[in-house]
Amino acid sequence: MDQNINIKVRVWRQAGPKEKGHFEEYELHDIFQGASFLEMMDILNEKLISEHKDPIAFDHDCREGICGMCSLYVNGHPHGPDSAITTCQLHMRKFHDGETITIEPWRSHAFPVIKDLMVDRGAYDKIMQAGGFISVNTGGVPDANAIPIPKEKADEAMDAASCIGCGACAAACKNGSAMLFVAAKVSQLALLPQGQVEAARRAKAMVAKMDELGFGNCTNTGACAAECPKSVSLANIARLNREFISAKFKD
């Protein structure tokens, strides 16, 4: 049964991208375990505002596990100590009375801190702009839907497309690699006939942009897939490698 608990929250505070950050610790009392993690953050900010202190900046939007905005590193795990969820789907029942909860922003060279727990994840947008699209005209929706696609391929494409671009994979990786994100976005199009026209250009362009933006290399430790809130498979990285090598051979 959910109960009220007392906790300590150790939060990373950083006034801006060029400022030096530090941890600050706060005490919260009578937090209901049925509350979501972000509701706890709201309660903490209300407390800080009532004390005429600067509230903690953090990203959030849908609070339904769809948008990926709620990107927090909680107790050493992207999105917190639960599997296949975003931070907004994390509940306080995962924590115990008297526990100290450490909250940090994404730690990746390509995701600079804006303020406190907010980071600039625009690097992912730039990778998508480099090649995460198709420009072939498939006609209207009925025409596109009429293209025969084997069910297993359609299912694989949908699994890859479930990536919400939150950045947990890069934050979890010891090298700050974005390979799982790029692999998911390449795979969802590489598996479909609509994506074949630009397949070679897409793989090269997205990998080149990923390297240009300062993401690290993949060493296949699997931390990215383990921490992914949508359980995107590591097999997509193998597909990205095949697509990239194939594109290079065509050159």
- Confirm whether 4-115 and 121-250 share one CATH topology: no
For residue 225, is pLDDT > 80? yes
pLDDT at position 156, please? 95
Q: Which of 66, 75, 41 is nearest to 56 (CA)?
A: 41
Name the token pair of 110.
């390509």
What span, in angstroms and rounded, lies between the C-alpha atoms of 115 and 16? Answer: 5
* E strand map for 64-198: 73-74, 77-78, 100-104, 113-115, 118-119
In angstroms, what CA-CA distances link 113 with 12, 34, 67, 123? 11, 30, 19, 13
Task: Tell me the pLDDT band of 251, cut-offs 50, 70 and 90.
Answer: confident
pLDDT at position 144, please? 64
CATH number given to 4-115: 3.10.20.30
pLDDT at position 92, please? 97
Mean pLDDT for the stretch of residues 12-25: 96
Domain locations in the chain as residue ranges: 4-115, 121-250
Task: Tell me the pLDDT band of 246, cut-offs 50, 70 and 90.
Answer: very high
Q: Which fold has domain 121-250?
A: Fumarate Reductase Iron-sulfur Protein; Chain B, domain 2 (1.10.1060)
Give the HSE-up count for residue 80: Cα atoms under 13 Å, Cβ half-sphere.
Answer: 19
